[in-house]
Amino acid sequence: MGVNARKRNLKTNPELKRLVAELYGVSARGNAPVWRAVAVRLEGPVANRPVINLDRLNRLVKDGESVIVPGKVLGNGNITKKITISAYSLSSSARTKLEKAGCKIYDIEDLVKSNPGGSGLRLMA
């Protein structure tokens, strides 16, 4: 490699690698572009993953909506709407506030299994 060679962004986390491969596969089989978009976000640099606070979620989503965040949800602010949320990572305060508000929290893998077509999901990126 030369001096100016660009370092490749290879993920070393085996769980993340498996999740990204699963998302690409489900996207191809089910013709679901939302899963491909999530996989691209998770596969890229950590700096490109969204970090979303609860107050922003509360402001942008509707009651009863299903939301997927290919990044981290932080607990700044409050949430008053009952939503279904799936995120790559949740802070402990965000998880507590979401549970207190009556929101349903799923892992991305569980959401993929229950909704392989990706219908009715809103991508927060």
Buried b / exposed e over 89-122, threshold 16 CB at 10 Å, is ebbeebbebbeeeebebbebeebbeebeebeebe
What is the pLDDT, as a whole number, of residue 39?
Answer: 95
In this structure, what is the dihedral angle of CA atoms 119, 23, 95, 52, given to the nearest 10 degrees?
A: -80
pLDDT in tens, 39-85: 999 999 999 899 999 999 999 999 999 999 999 999 999 999 999 99
Domains of the chain by residue range: 14-123
pLDDT in tens, 5-27: 555 667 789 999 999 999 999 99
CATH number attached to the domain at 14-123? 3.100.10.10
